[in-house]
Amino acid sequence: MFLFLPGGTEIFVILFIVLLLFGGRKIPELMRGLGKGIREFNSARATIEEEIKEGMKEEDKKPIEEKKKED
């Protein structure tokens, strides 16, 4: 299961290659973009969760309202 996780040396090599490809000036800009994307994703996820919860509450209320109408 943990066979494909990178070790310390592999992570160091990956970070070094990223530094070479993007340079020291582009990395902060890249990280800002990554952070903004993560925030937008979390916001969208929270909105969807809220809509699902509201929908479930409405569905729970329907049988109660139908019973009141029948009486």
Claim: this prediction has a pTM higher than 0.75? no
Q: Write out pLDDT tens, residues 6-51.
A: 788 988 998 888 888 888 888 888 889 999 999 999 999 999 999 9
Q: Write out pLDDT tens, residues 51-64.
A: 999 988 888 777 76
CB 6 within 8 A of CB 14: yes
Q: Please state, in angstroms and as integers, the Cα–Cα distance from residue 18 to each residue in 13, 31, 63, following that order.
A: 9, 12, 57
